Amino acid sequence: MENMFNLKGKVALITGASYGIGFAIAKAFAQAGATIVFNDIKQEFVDKGLASYEAEGIKAHGYVCDVTDEDAVNALVATVEKEVGVIDILVNNAGIIKRIPMHEMTAAEFRQVIDVDLNAPFICAKAVIPSMIKKGGGKIINICSMMSELGRETVSAYAAAKGGLKMLTRNIASEYGEYNIQCNGIGPGYIATPQTAPLRERQADGSRHPFDSFIIAKTPAARWGNPEDLAGPAVFLASEASNFVNGHVLYVDGGILAYIGKQPK
């Protein structure tokens, strides 16, 4: 059973994994035996990421790359194959969100979110698939979202991108399953990261932030998720344990999508 979840000898590329969810997933992969490769858009972010991995005792390989630039991604993959090895596992983690009411959002802002959250996973997957086919298989994990299923105020572009990413996940599975390539998604719930910290701060009177209260009330687990909550699901989808799981989105959300919410008092 332990061997089913063993990633020893595997090369894993996790995009945007200098911190947060991507870092937690990469750390779990390293603990399972994988060699870690990550990118970020600026050298300073890569350097900070390398320092964080080193502090955890992980020898990671960091590169500067804009995942929306197809030529840059192709060059990154070629460099990784030369310096580290063929990529066995790709996690499309890099992403952005712009919280703007739809009627106030410009087309350029909408396109930017689509470019990072949907076009980039297409570009990265396209870049690694040929070598996965030659090697006899591979794993692609797309970081989807509850917005792959639900809408919400101010996130029209993000929801459109993540809904599209769910269908891209299914189509990659459909098109390349015969080559022993499994493409699945992880849909995180609300995760406690530095980006969401302001939404969890106690108010001056000691009460919860209104959004914090909203999430706790909507989550059967009655808490925010931690990045580490994604570690087990990610290792499962990256390992041989999931060899017959394809085109699936695994929601790690504490039960939000299964729950209608509490009745108002």
Q: What distance in Å separates the CA atoms of residue 260 and residue 207, rounded to the nearest whole number?
A: 24
Task: Judge contact between 173 and 246, C-beta under 8 A.
Answer: yes
Q: 8: how many CB neighbours lie within 10 A of its CB?
A: 9
Q: Is 249 strand, coil or helix?
A: strand
158 annotated active-site: yes
Query: Dihedral sign, CA of 107, 112, 115, 116?
Result: negative
Q: What distance in Å separates the CA atoms of residue 102 and residue 16, rounded to the nearest whole number?
A: 26
Of 19, 53, 63, 158, catalytic? 158
Nearest to 230 by CA among 161, 152, 141: 141
Q: Which residues are catalytic?
A: 158
